[in-house]
Structure 1
Amino acid sequence: MVAAQDSAPAGGGFSARLKTALVGDPTARFVYVNNFEVERVWGTGEPKLPGTGLSFSSATVNRIEEVGVLLADEHDAVVLKDAVDPGYAAYLAALGAAQGLHLTVDRNLPERSVTHDALESPRLLAALRELADGRTYLMPLGISADEERLAEAAGLPLAGPSAAVCKRVNGKIFSRELVDAFGLTAVPGSVCRTLEELEAALASHLGEAGSRVVVKESLGVSGRGMVVLDEPRRGEQLLRMLTRRAGANRRVSVVVERWIEKQADLNYQFIVGRSGGVRFETVKTALTENGVHRGHVFPPALRPDQVQELRAAAEVIGKELAAAGYFGLVGVDAILGADGTLYPCLEINARFNMATYQNRIAERLIRDGQYALATTFDLQPSRVHGFDEVRSALGGLLLDRADQPGRGPRGVLINNFATLNATLQAGGGPYGRLYAICVGDDEQDVRRTRERAETLLKEMVAKP
């Protein structure tokens, strides 16, 4: 197996490549708005599966937006729900990991996304309007009608296409139809827009003994909007529930696919330029749990021919996205089946994802031949903690400098701190999360580093 991560930053690094592709200027200023779970806006008014409706994000999810500081170059800006902890800001600055201007909303409401907070922030909107110079663009994680409203209120052009285009190409139905139309290796499945089509798909794919299928809402998000069925009886129950809810409206918007036993989940990213050009960026092993993203390992253990298959799929997908009017970053979920079959496109995410926020820092800190594990630490703090406490708890395990004598940097890089305290600060219970990238010499090394770090962090939050 070989390392499949694209190495060296070409053309000035990830940030410059993104700007060149989207606005034709590698030194343009981007104002990053990191509106995680934008799918819940795209999914408004769309048919839902029972018990899987899109809900408003939790306080923790809404504070993931802090990870956007890792994308900003020195002339960029990031819209934040609250100020970065001073100790954490100093830590990132020492690594050269966060250089842009931080702009905070007037009032941080934990239950609201950063976009909604920004729309209700006269002071912030005035600051954004002052940035308008013909070379400054609003760069959301994903563009919905809310981000279009924000761009208009801020007097800044969007760096991406319209919300209507983004909603269409982010649907799982769009992905499935593209795969079928261009002959990419497809998981057996069907697109269903009516209850009759769903009934036929379940009968076709769920009829074999021991078979399982996944029913996915076209615009589901983060493991929600998805039902796994393992016998025809459960499929019949789902149909009855949907029929009762539908009444005269027989419309659904789902994809039905057979369950595939797998070796690995994969995620690869590429950029589609305004001119339609496609540039492959990275491929990583994706770590998932019950359909929810939990991190990445990179580089992945893939053969050169498997990487080339993903690159070829990216060209096909990118050209079709361009034809549909999309330009910007794209992340595609793929799987390597247990039998070695590579399915290069399960789902197209024509937006940023968590892997996006690792790109700039990985180019700067992780050397060729090193491994990285992007992960989360789920903790139970009983009080609010400052970053300096995290630094003290991790001690020498914290990755706090770009170079170490004789080798690349090793240790734990904290790439989102705000989520540790978000729930407590919102008046909730003892739940917090830290996002981190563990860097080491091989995959076993980074997993050992993660285990040690988790032990130290749990000891930290256990202290009164």
Structure 2
Amino acid sequence: MGDPGAEFVLLCNFEAERAWGTGAVGLPAIPSMTAARPALAMEELGVCLAAQGDELLLGRPLDASFRAYLRSAGIAAPAGITVEGPGIVETADRVPSDARALARLRAAAERGAYLLPMGSTEQTRQIATLTGLRYAAAEPAVAARVNSKIYARRLVEEVGLQAVPGVCCESVEDLAMALAIEPFEPLIVKDAYGVSGRGLMRLDSPARARRLLEMVRRRAQRTGDDRLHVVVERFLPKMCDLFYQFTVARDGTVALDTVLETLLDDGVPQGNTARSPWADKHRAEIEECAVRIGRQVHRDGYHGVVGVDALCGADGTLYPVLEINARLNLPTYQLPVMQDRHASGLTYALSRQYTLRLRHAPSFEHLHTSLSPALTPDPDGAHAVLSCFAPLNALAEQARDGRTFPGRLYTAMFAPDPDSLARLELRMRHSLYALTGERHPNKLGATPCMTP
């Protein structure tokens, strides 16, 4: 990294937290494969980050019409290396047993290419070792440590940043003490390796806190294991959620990449805006925090991209670290397209995830036709870009006997001014209604913003 002419093989392993969390004991939960399929399909987002000459590892090939669309949108659709294997198995886990994929990767290694995973795990490190690809990421053990929310809370205390009131819990009794606050205040309990709303519980009453503690104690008695890996934090009224990304070079240099406002729907990220009033107000403070955090994680052995979730309290106080994501993040994949549009004068942008209820799996041609009012540039240049296609139909097998299935659509919208952006987002919603018959694909309205 740092070599502008370097060739990369991208591996977008969006389920890296599952690997890092192996052995960690979190909140009681029922595993669900329905959550895994869309996350695996999200690896297609790598098309937006890849440069000309890069390659992208995929569990299924890019749709030919989607590839043609990317090129028409000015996105360098990378060469795809399709890895054979079952649909519910991560691409990283399939590679070692796919001889054709290994041969392609070894050929890339002979050209001096790097393997760039979304998150560094033992599986991704093994792929680099098997193929001879140079490894453009920190070592897996370091990544696993830095990505823990327990690590993040302790780092905040160590470097003297403003912390959300709370504690780390590494045993059942730690949790009992954390929940025994008087008088009771609403709390958030988070798994050390939870992500995107998974492994998170809000406790609004003492009764709910007691029920959680009872469940955790019963599990500990059943398993004979008293360990726990969660953080408990006070629920704070807020103005907004923020996200910022910085890059830690191998020599420890820290560079702030972007500051965004995060759009949430029931605690789950649904998109980002940039240059919001709150992001602007706290940008200098965030840049200072990024340097302090970056220096600390570098001392602990990490280099690469870091994304941090932050919160702006109702009183205007910045809490600069809710969690540290020592990996590529969803906005990481959107930034190259945003920066390209910004350079052409489309300085306002909005990235959004829409969740659609579908009865049939639409082809990309049908999707493109349905959304053409938003995808076709206005006279002022305003237009939307589709970031990937596979997550839309990842759960299509559920569409039986008249049932619908949820599909994820990832978009980015660009315009020269906030009014134009608002009109564009409205056209996108009208187009989605024409596609699905639903007036509210999700709860959030249009939010004007500016790219960095």
Output the amino acid matched with 2:285. Answer: E
**What is aligned with 1:346?**
322
Give the deviation of 1:427 after TM superposition. 7.3
* Pairing 1:62-461 to 2, within 5 Å after superposition: 62-107=40-85, 109-133=86-110, 135-204=112-181, 207-209=182-184, 211-247=185-221, 248-302=224-278, 306-367=282-343, 370-399=347-376, 407=380, 409-424=381-396, 430-443=405-418, 445-461=420-436
Give the deviation of 1:363 after TM superposition. 1.1
Q: Deviations over 1:68-88 (max 9, x none)?
A: 011111121111122222222
Q: Deviations over 1:403-445 (max 9, x none)?
A: x76x5x3121111112222222687753322110122244454
Q: Deviations over 1:239-264 (max 9, x none)?
A: 22212211343211111100011111
**In the alignment, structure 1 residue 27 sits paired with structure 2 residue 5:** yes
1:118/1:150 contact within 8 Å kept? yes
1:57/1:111 contact within 8 Å kept? no
Q: Distance in 2 between matches of 1:34 and 1:399?
A: 29
What is the alpha-carbon root mean square deviation over aligned residues? 2.3
SS in 2 for 1:69: helix
**What is aligned with 1:7?**
none
**Over 6 Å off, 4+ runs:** none
**What is aligned with 1:40?**
18
Q: Distance in 2 between matches of 1:302 and 1:377?
A: 24
Q: Distance in 2 between matches of 1:318 and 1:394?
A: 41
Relative to 1, partners in 2 of residues 1:56 and 1:384: Cα closer, same or farther, differing over 3 Å? Answer: closer
Give the deviation of 1:303 after TM superposition. 6.6
TM-score (norm 1): 0.87
Q: Distance in 1 between matches of 2:253 and 2:77?
A: 29
Q: Distance in 2 between matches of 1:197 and 1:113?
A: 35
Q: Deviations over 1:36-86 (max 9, x none)?
A: 121011112211212266867432221111010111111211111222222
- Identity %, equivalent residues: 37
Give the deviation of 1:452 after TM superposition. 2.4
Relative to 1, partners in 2 of residues 1:301 and 1:110: Cα closer, same or farther, differing over 3 Å? Answer: farther
Q: Deviations over 1:203-239 (max 9, x none)?
A: 23xx235x20111111112211111112223222222
Q: Distance in 2 between matches of 1:427 and 1:41?
A: 30
Relative to 1, partners in 2 of residues 1:52 and 1:290: Cα closer, same or farther, differing over 3 Å? Answer: farther
The total of aligned residue pairs comes to: 432
Relative to 1, partners in 2 of residues 1:361 and 1:266: Cα closer, same or farther, differing over 3 Å? Answer: same
Deviates more, 1:44-53 or 1:442-451: 442-451
**What is aligned with 1:11?**
none
Q: Deviations over 1:81-130 (max 9, x none)?
A: 222222221121123212432211124x3312221233332211111111
Q: Distance in 1 between matches of 2:129 and 2:398?
A: 30
SS in 2 for 1:235: helix
Extract unaligned runs of 5+ from structure 2. 439-452
Relative to 1, partners in 2 of residues 1:425 and 1:447: Cα closer, same or farther, differing over 3 Å? Answer: farther
SS in 1 for 2:385: strand
Q: Distance in 2 between matches of 1:304 and 1:360?
A: 21
Greater RCO, CA 8 A, separation 6+: 1
Q: Deviations over 1:434-459 (max 9, x none)?
A: 11012224445434423322332332
1:57/1:113 contact within 8 Å kept? no
1:283/1:300 contact within 8 Å kept? no
Output the amino acid matched with 1:219. Answer: Y
**What is aligned with 1:14?**
none
2:341/2:347 contact within 8 Å kept? no
Deviates more, 1:383-392 or 1:275-284: 383-392
**What is aligned with 2:27?**
49
Output the amino acid matched with 1:354. Answer: L
Q: Distance in 1 between matches of 2:33 and 2:318?
A: 33
2:58/2:80 contact within 8 Å kept? yes
SS in 2 for 1:355: helix
1:54/1:220 contact within 8 Å kept? no
Q: Distance in 1 between matches of 2:272 and 2:110?
A: 37
SS in 2 for 1:380: strand
Relative to 1, partners in 2 of residues 1:88 and 1:304: Cα closer, same or farther, differing over 3 Å? Answer: closer
1:54/1:225 contact within 8 Å kept? no
Relative to 1, partners in 2 of residues 1:395 and 1:233: Cα closer, same or farther, differing over 3 Å? Answer: closer
2:305/2:326 contact within 8 Å kept? yes
Output the amino acid matched with 2:186. Answer: R
Extract unaligned runs of 5+ from structure 1. 1-18
